[in-house]
Amino acid sequence: MKEDFVLAKFTTKTDKRERMILGKIENIYDNDYEICFLRKKETVKSTHFVYPQNPDIEILKPENIVALIELANEQRGGFTFRGIPVPLKVLN
């Protein structure tokens, strides 16, 4: 499971809104997952995901993991995925 890409949901600390975001599992601690989140980049031709300049890392519980996501392609630091179970517009 380490190094897998996942769809995660969590509530933000500042505005208490529920967010859905893609990330990569970096480490597993007992029953927690350290996830490095990706950012959505939209262009005229496609939507892909990239790591932010400053790493966005959170520790999440297993119940925050919605689904494992299949990597379709990695090119020039951008990732595209297959089988994301939610519309791209709801992802951050």
Close Cβ partners of 88 (under 8 Å, ≥ 6 residues apart): 40, 47
The answer to whether residue 89 is domain-embedded is no
Please tell me the pTM assigned to this model.
0.86
The answer to whether residue 83 is domain-embedded is no
Q: Which domain holds residue 36?
A: 5-74
Query: The CATH number of the domain where 26 resides is what?
Result: 2.30.30
The answer to whether residue 82 is domain-embedded is no
The answer to whether residue 87 is domain-embedded is no
**Structural domains of the chain, count:** 1
pLDDT tens digits for range 62-90: 999 999 999 999 998 899 999 888 888 88
CB 62 within 8 A of CB 30: no
pLDDT tens digits for range 7-64: 999 888 888 888 899 999 999 999 899 999 999 998 888 889 999 999 999 999 999 9
For residue 1, what is the DSSP state? Answer: -
The answer to whether residue 80 is domain-embedded is no
Strands 39-42 and 47-50, sheet pairing = antiparallel
Residue 61 has which token pair?
């519980």
